[in-house]
Structure 1
Amino acid sequence: MGTLRSRHKWLWLTFLTIVVPVMNLLIHWRIFTFLRDGNLTPVLYAVLAVIWGVVGVYTIYLSLNWVIEQYPVKWRQRIQPLIFIAPALILLGWLLLYPTVRTLIFSFMDANSVDFVGLSNYVAIFTNRLLLAALRNNLLWVVLGTFSCVSLGLIIAVLADRSSFEKLAKSIIFMPMAISMVASGVIWKFVYYYKPGDEQIGLLNAIVVAFGGEAQAWASFAQPWNNLFLIVILIWMETGFAMVLLSAGIKGIPEESLEAARMDGANEIMIFFKIMIPYLSTTILSVTTTIIVFTLKIFDIVMVMTGGQYDTDVVATQFYRQFFMYRNNGYGSTLAIVLLIAIIPVLIFNLRQIRKQGGGFS
């Protein structure tokens, strides 16, 4: 009798385990098709989508959790964590893993994603003059932009730490971080603005003319100068980010170590290189890798300032141009994969650094 009852219970649990997720899927798919095919006003669409998102997630977790609660305690403890992890993994797979695999497949196909062309697209990336220029420019952004941001951030953090106006100085330096990349590009477009003739409304040209110089089309200069002027915008934005993190690291340096070094006759430059830099090495590496990833993906500044003209294209702008303007899915996908391959080692290095600091990654 007990065996029969146990069998009925497991059949019931199996039935619930299958039916409840399927019912959730059908109900939410029906809601999705209603919103997709409906003829509602945009405002009503937005309201219904928000309500559906909040209530839908709650009902999914509630119903699945109720099913798990019916299981014996031993099985419940094993399965219940999956209720909270599985949806996130499915969403990540759908939004990240699937598009990545699909893009990788497209990178081995022709412009229309019909015929298999092998490594032809990759060969073209590293032989085409325009695409090579984009790769070279990205390297310039990574090396010069990252070095400048980290170096200036460290110097400002050290100087501000000893200033009586520390909070004000840090607030001013960090302020550009609150501005979007597009807005920063628009601001600096007015700074670099050039108009043939005597009247100059661009800030930089107005200053140059006021001191007797000649106005220049800064963003249209020959290589590498125009890229350097664009990198200045990145430095203006990201130095504050580096400064804040490095400043927090400086606050963690034991004051006893600094005082002991001064008593031993070390000057401030020696203290900076012999004590501060070693103490901040992990923080410097983390900041550096973060900014490297950011510069590898740079897009907005170039697009707003020059649109990739005058040999200022980077990999992201060339990807946009090839994929969306020229409709060359092969080249566009290949550029995306090249960018991903360039970013992965930096991310792995960053995760290893976090693990060394006890961040919990295994």
Structure 2
Amino acid sequence: MEQLLSALVTIVIGVGGALVYFFGSNLILDRIFPANAPDLAVASRNMRIAGMVRPWLFLGPALISLSVYLVYPLFASIIYSFHGRDGVEFVGLDNYRWLLSDREFRESIFNNILWLIVVPTFSTLFGLIIAALTDRIWWGNIAKSLIFMPMAISFVGASVIWKFVYDYRDAGTAQIGLLNAIVVYFGGNPHVWISMPFWNNFFLMVILIWIQTGFAMVLLSAALRGISEETVEAAVIDGANPWQIFIKIKVPQIWGTIAVVWTTITILVLKVFDIVLAMTNGQWQSQVLANLMFDWMFRGGGDFGRGAVIAVVIMLMVVPIMVWNIRNARREMKGH
């Protein structure tokens, strides 16, 4: 109850504060530059100035938040990456040399590459298949709602759910984990799935695929519905079967949306942290870059330099994909 009240108070203060700011700032702006000034030239000048200032009143809080929570940490991380454990002593490129020789970093890079290959591919593929199939059945909207539902769950919450799916009990005892219960039912032996090196990465990936398939489905479903019916009808007249229509007619027309979905999930995967932390905490060769950064930055006494250099690596991997995504989105907007 205390947590609910705290959340409610936070929401009220946040929403109330936003309303007070926007109404108050606009009221002050109108008082400083009144549009009903007696002199017509002055009124016209005031309206012009107020028109230029007003958008910045709305953008101001967002720009300040971005500067404080994104721009400043970005430059601070780069600076810290050249400093030692305490963030004070300048060590030059020592942290970067350590990074290249660290076994756990190489393990994290390898695992991140696995995540990058598997999660965006299957999330986008499943989302596309489900979007195409649910548009052909009468209960498609219900199915979409159920598939999209995991998006409303936090990564930690989803991890807790899947911990029960992968749960292990000694052989001969009742298995409460769904996966082991199925294995035992068919005569197999239960396994500690998330402690199996290499393979445990895929068991963790399933969680993110489960969450992101709903996101991919919604965007791709909207794109499929935007396809011109004339092209589909022309393909039917030419004798194309449903599979050919889907692969050769529909998919090429929504390729831009597929690329945006793919890259958006890719950016998310590069920053994956919560699932690994909650499920394995990087043990059993399941470490990823974000969790490794967290370990060095906040655990074991903290090492600002090594934590920051891992953050810089993550940033260098994310930025090119973000730039490509933004350019692709602008290109599509110009096309419309």
After TM superposition, is the score higher than 0.5?
A: yes
Alignment counterpart, residue 93 of structure 2, candidates 119, 122, 125: 119
1:209, CA displacement in angstroms? 0.3
Partner of 2:203: 229
Gaps of 5+ in 2: 1-5
TM-score normalised to structure 1 length: 0.80
CA distance in 2 between partners of 1:126 and 1:156 (Å): 42
Give the equivalent residue in structure 1 for 2:184.
Answer: 209
**2:330 aligns with one of 355, 359, 362:** 355
Aligned residue for 1:126, secondary structure, equals helix
Shift of 1:298: 0.9
Letter in 2 for 1:277: V
Q: Which amino acid aligns with 1:67?
A: I
Deviation by residue 1:124-167 (Cα, 9 ceiling, x = unmatched): 22321101111211111111100010011111111222223312
Confirm or deny that 1:180 pairs with 2:151. no
Structure 1 residue aligned with 2:65: 91
Question: What is aligned with 1:299?
Answer: 273
Offset, 1:320:
0.9
Of the three residues 256, 264, 271, the one matched with 2:238 is 264
Question: How far did 1:99 drift?
Answer: 1.8
1:28 alignment counterpart: none
Matched letter for residue 275 of structure 2 = I
8 Å CA contact 1:65, 1:80 repeated in 2: no
Aligned residues between the structures? 318
Alpha-carbon displacement from aligned partner over 1:6-37 (angstroms, at most 9, x marks no partner): xxxxxxxxxxxxxxxxxxxxxxxxxxxxxxxx
Is 1:128 the counterpart of 2:111 in the alignment? no
Change over 3 Å in CA distance of 1:118–1:180 after alignment to 2:
same
Q: Could you tell me whether the CA contact under 8 Å between 2:116 and 2:270 is conserved in 1?
A: yes
Of 232-241 and 166-175, more deviation after overlay is shown by: 166-175
Matched, 1:157 2:131: yes
Runs of 4+ residues over 6 Å off in structure 1:
none
Alignment of 1:195-344 (within 5 A): 195-199=169-173, 200-223=175-198, 225-326=199-300, 327-344=302-319
Q: Which protein is bigger by CA-based radius of gyration?
A: 1
The 3 A distance-change label for structure 1 pair 350 and 294 is same
- For structure 1, the 5+ residue unaligned runs are 1-41
Q: Which amino acid aligns with 2:306?
A: Y
What do you get for the CA RMSD once the two structures are aligned? 2.5
Partner of residue 53, structure 2? 80
1:305, 1:194 → 2: CA distance?
13
Match of 1:100 in 2: 74
- Is the alpha carbon distance of 1:187 and 1:359 closer, same or farther for their aligned partners in structure 2, counting shifts above 3 Å? farther
Q: Is the 8 A contact 2:127 2:214 kept in 1?
A: yes
Given that residues 138 and 296 in structure 1 are in contact (C-alpha distance below 8 angstroms), is that contact kept between their aligned partners in structure 2? Answer: yes
After TM superposition, give the deviation of residue 343 of structure 1 in Å.
Answer: 1.2
User: Which stretch of the first structure deviates more once superposed, 230-239 or 50-59?
Assistant: 50-59
